[in-house]
Amino acid sequence: MLTTALRPRSILTLLVSLGLAVGFVLLSQWQLESSEQARTVADPAKDVAVPLAEAAEAGTAVTAAQADQLITVTGDYQDGSTLLVPGRLQDGSEGYWVVSALTVADSAGRWPDAAGELTVAVARGWTADPAAVPAEPEGRVGVVGRYLPAEGPVPGEDLPEGQVGTVSPAQLTNLWDAPLYAGFVAAFAENPASAPFQLRADGTLAPDPALLSPQLSELEIDQQPTDESVNLLNLFYAVEWVVFAGFALYIWWRFVRDEWLREQHPEEYFYFEGEYYLDEASGRYYYYDPEAGEYYWFDDQPGHRPEDGPGDRARGAGAHGRTDDTQDRTQDRTGAHHD
């Protein structure tokens, strides 16, 4: 069988099978990488605070790379700007986000289309009682929070005055009559600007951050979304491509095996209408073709022609003419016989 496997045609078939197998393995690797890329995991770098001016560009939409970044910002809350956003859950209870406008210090010129300093919406905290909302802290404050993408505006005709359906800077900019950043800040800590931000030495949020309005609860917002599960469909496809690679090699093995068996037992691979016989002297099978009026060896194929037995049977391109010696053998033929 090794001789059959080393023939040029077998080697060429092997190269084609190997090429297909390599291609299938590469497709399997691609599916594995796709299953990993589908995972959305928390980015530790986004939990290290950076100034708002570094985290976001004024006048542009919030990108995926900017969203959920912990930021620091210094500014002044606008008096009377506080709005409530109903339907917000905190520790299983439904309540309100308290949102106010923070005029960012030293922000003039960051957005050429804006006249003067910029404003960013800050969700200062959560409350369950809309009647007990504290006023905006006075003076310049420093805020540490997570920069989040804008929520889509929703109709709020049925909401009481002073409430909005979502935190949408596109809507708030009209209510506050000020140019806003495209995102908003979910505040975790507030302090007077004269005090340092409530951060650890590595830039992450301090263990027990505090707000300037103790009546409000600190918002519990992590990086969103977070999905560490593996895409099972991609994983299934990855295994499937490996199976195809093995099948490509199996096809080559079957090709070589069938070639070898065809040479060992040609009578099992050749079927013709009529009869065929065993030439006991040479151990080879032959048959009679009534249309051609000649006898042919089954195993006399181009590239592999066993030597003829005794007699004057001339070798041709796959056939032997009938001779007197062959005629004598057919008169008392033995061996396999098929109709």
Average pLDDT over residues 203-216: 95
Which of 178, 168, 48 shows the shortest CA–CA distance to 102?
Answer: 178
Enumerate residues 6+ apart whose C-beta is below 8 A from 321: 294, 295, 313, 314
Assign 305 a pLDDT band (cuts: 50, 70, 90): very low
Would you give the distance in Å from CA 118 to the centre of its chain?
39
Assign 331 a pLDDT band (cuts: 50, 70, 90): very low
Separation of alpha carbons 168 and 145, rounded Å? 17
Tokens encoding 195: 């005090």
Q: Are 330 and 296 in contact (CB under 8 A)?
A: no
Would you give the distance in Å from CA 133 to the centre of its chain?
46
24 to each of 204, 238, 250, how far by Cα in Å? 45, 9, 14
Percent of the chain with pLDDT strictly greater than 70? 79
Give 3-state DSSP helix, strand, coil % of the chain, rounded to 5: 30, 25, 45
User: Has residue 271 got a pLDDT over 80?
Assistant: no
| Residue 66: count of CB within 10 angstroms of its CB | 20
Which of 199, 198, 223, 196 shows the shortest CA–CA distance to 210?
Answer: 198
- Helix, strand or coil for residue 130? helix
Q: Are 280 and 335 in contact (CB under 8 A)?
A: yes
User: Has residue 250 got a pLDDT over 80?
Assistant: yes
Angle (nearest 5°) at CA 48 between 50 and 54: 20
- The residues facing 294 across adjacent strands are 289
Question: pTM score > 0.85 for this model?
Answer: no
Separation of alpha carbons 187 and 210, rounded Å? 10
Sequence-ordered alpha helix ranges (H) in the chain:
2-5, 8-37, 52-55, 169-176, 232-264, 324-331
HSE of 116 in the Cβ direction (CA atoms, 13 Å)? 6
Assign 36 a pLDDT band (cuts: 50, 70, 90): low
Assign 30 a pLDDT band (cuts: 50, 70, 90): confident
Q: Which residue has the higher pLDDT, 312 or 76?
A: 76
